[in-house]
């Protein structure tokens, strides 16, 4: 009963992680954040693997998910430090775009309440961009804090998934050990040891004339 409850909870957590990862992937695509896009892609694959392992009683797949959950927590801690300018990191750098482009988080211009004011190009000035923005005003929350909230939610769900994954692996392993102990996986159970071959039970019979 405990294993079933743990499996159901882990299935719910994995499903929630998929929803959160897909939501985050959409906005990272819109902001051309290539490093988070790759990380989200691997995250979605591993979560699907963990979900399959949970449904099909495959502890090895769940162990892979457990290891990834720890790495995913570390990645999101890095993202939080990046947007809060901790440890020499800067949210204004092009680190998350692999220095390919100067794009930043999609939320920097499209956050709640944000209003963009565009400046047309000056006559005779040619740039690679069709227009440039003067400023973004009226945002109810700075974009870096929106990214921090996203990463914090990812960390919280990943920690719950890590705990329940460890519990489910332990429960499945105990069930397999107990089943093996009573001979469930033994092709020659104990009760066959004392059985005698049928041909040994045959005794010669002689017909008397």
Q: What is the pTM of this model?
A: 0.76
- Tell me the C-alpha distance between 200 and 78, whole Å: 73
For the chain, the structural domain boundaries read 1-98+144-177
Lookup: tokens for 170: 């332990």
150-203 pLDDT, tens digit per residue, is: 999 999 999 999 999 999 999 998 887 666 555 544 444 444 444 445 454 445
pLDDT at 38 over 70: yes
pLDDT at 49 over 70: yes
Lowest mean pLDDT among 31-35, 94-98, 130-134: 130-134
Burial class (CB in 10 A: 0-12, 13-18, 19+), 51: buried
- Tell me the C-alpha distance between 183 and 196, whole Å: 20
Length of the chain: 209
């Amino acid at each position: 009963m405990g294993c079933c409850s743990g499996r159901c909870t882990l299935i719910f957590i994995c499903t929630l992680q998929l929803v959160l990862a897909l939501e985050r992937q959409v906005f990272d695509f819109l902001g051309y954040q290539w490093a988070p896009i790759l990380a989200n892609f691997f995250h979605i694959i591993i979560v699907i693997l963990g979900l399959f392992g949970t449904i099909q009683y495959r502890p090895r797949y769940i162990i892979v998910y457990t290891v990834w959950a720890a790495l995913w927590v570390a990645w999101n801690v890095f993202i939080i430090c990046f947007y809060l300018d901790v440890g020499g990191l800067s949210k204004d750098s092009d680190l998350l775009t692999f220095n390919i482009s100067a794009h930043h988080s999609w939320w920097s211009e499209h956050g709640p309440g944000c209003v963009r004011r565009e400046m047309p190009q000056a006559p005779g000035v040619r740039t690679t961009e069709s227009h440039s923005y003067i400023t973004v005003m009226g945002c109810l929350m700075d974009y870096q804090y929106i990214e921090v909230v996203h990463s914090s939610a990812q960390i919280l769900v990943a920690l719950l998934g890590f705990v329940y994954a460890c519990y489910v692996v332990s429960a499945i392993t105990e069930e397999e050990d107990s089943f093996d102990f009573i001979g469930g996986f033994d092709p020659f159970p104990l009760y066959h040891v004392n059985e005698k071959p049928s041909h040994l039970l045959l005794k010669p019979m002689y017909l008397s004339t």
